[in-house]
Structure formats: C-alpha cells, structure tokens
Amino acid sequence: MGLMELKIIKSVLSKELGFFWFVFLIKSLLKKKIIFNRTQWAKMDNEASEFVKRHFIIKECIFHDFFTGVGIPELTKLFCEIDKVFFSKAFPEFEFHRNGSWENTIAYGKDFCELMQKKIQKK
C-alpha cells in the first residue's frame, strides 16, 4: 500500500468524514432496512437440523455505494480484504471463501459479491 493510499485512508477515516460516514450508513440501513439483497442456497444436515453450507450472492453493497459517492470506490476493497481475516476469527466453526477468489466482489468489478460459508466438520 503506497503513501498516497494511506493518506486517502486517513482522510476518509478522519473525524470530519467519520461522522458523515456513520450517518450515511445508518440512513442506508433505515432506508433499505437491510444491508444487502441476497439469494442463497443451503445444504442441510438432516440429523443435526442445521445448515452445512451456504452460498450468499450480495447484489448491493453500502460500502461500495458510500466510497463511490465520495469519489474513492477503490477503498471498498479494504472491506473485502478485512473479510478474509474477520470471518474466520469471529466464526471459527465455519470456513469462508468467495467461490474460488477473494476478488469475487463488486469492489473488484463483479456484478455481485459471493460469500461461501461451510460448517467445519468435527472429527
């Protein structure tokens, strides 16, 4: 990550834009009532009555909308990168991926984001 990118990130995350960003996210959530539209499939484990796999298709991203609105859509990729670490740490009982590439997201030019979730089988 270059010095210019770091300066842009610092600017976006500064107090001046921090409050604006918070208000924007809250308004988006209230207006849409959900963060994203999704379709999904799930394979169920009949014995445990819980899902084994899920596949989410995210068709709209408020982070991409926000960063595009302020003229720096490339910062959306940071949130995609955070997913790699966050999901595995927050939900260690699941495996997460984006169907072959972590770049299967709107931020990287795709029409939608994919998120695959699979329960890790205990041995």
Beta-bridge mates of residue 44: 51
Residues of the chain with pLDDT under 50: 15-16, 33-49
Phi, psi of 57 (to 5 degrees): -115, 110
Phi, psi of 86 (to 5 degrees): -60, -55
* Predicted local confidence at residue 103, as pLDDT: 92
Question: Residue 5, SS3?
Answer: helix
* Predicted local confidence at residue 33, as pLDDT: 42
Whether this prediction's pTM lies above 0.85 is answered by: no
Q: What is the CA radius of gyration of the chain?
A: 17
The 94-97 sheet, strands edge to edge: 38-45, 50-58, 113-119, 94-97
